[in-house]
Amino acid sequence: MQLKMQTSLTLILGTVVSLIGWMFIYPDSGSMDATAADRAADLMADPDLSKVGMLMGFGGMGAVFVGFLNISRKMASGDGAGAAYANISALLSVALFVLGTLVIGIEWGVAEAGSAATGTALMQISLATETTFTMSCGFLMLLLGIGIILEKNFHIVIGGLSVLAGALFLIGNLSEGLAMGGFIAWLAMMVVAVALGVQTLRSTDN
């Protein structure tokens, strides 16, 4: 498989699988005020469904980060104006892939927990990683977007949307009242991933 094709598939299919997993399969009360105990109870209520949702949600996101890594690495290997920014975004892509792998193990443990207390304790650990995740996503998207704008290797609108997503991720961490900004940032990141995947796929025909 050519690297361009791999990048396209991980970005496009990873986004689709992740969205389906998180929004339609992963058990979640959907409340912004849900506690660790509430979320643990959701996962423990149907462990099998929870595991499928986790595999699709985290697995899809992992594929997206592989796609971002491929794009960032390609940019960083050159001497273009966006190389320095892409170099850091590549490192963040790896860090986020590892973090996602760690968290899926923790939440898998929640689904299999033998007691509500154990499940809640594990879920608290999972939730504690959210700030690291969103901050890392923020800087990843911000730097990748700046790199794309400077490099002009993708449509400038994609770069601008990536910068916006990064800014919203970072702003969303400032207070709980701005948490919705993080959700919008996540959706914007998914749009960027698909757009990058489609443009990369089209370039394979050239």
pLDDT tens digits for 10-28?
Answer: 999 999 999 999 999 998 7
State if pTM tops 0.85. Answer: yes
Diameter of the chain measured on Cα atoms: 57
Q: What is the pLDDT of residues 113-145, one digit of tens each?
A: 999 999 999 999 999 998 899 999 999 999 999
Lowest mean per-residue pLDDT among 49-53, 144-148, 174-178, 188-192:
174-178
> What does the alpha-carbon distance between residue 61 and residue 15 come to, in Å, rounded to a whole number?
7
What number is the average pLDDT over the span 168-193? 82
Domain residue spans of the chain: 3-197
State pLDDT tens for residues 94-117: 999 999 999 999 999 999 999 999
Distances (CA, A) of 65 to 80, 111, 175: 22, 25, 26
* Residue-level pLDDT at 178: 59
Look up residue 46 and give its DSSP letter: S
How many CA within 13 A on the CB side of residue 89? 33
User: What's the pLDDT score for residue 88?
Assistant: 96
Closest CA relative to residue 2, chosen from 97, 60, 74, 78: 74
Whether 72 contacts 144, CB under 8 Å: yes
39-66 pLDDT, tens digit per residue, is: 999 999 999 999 999 999 999 999 999 9
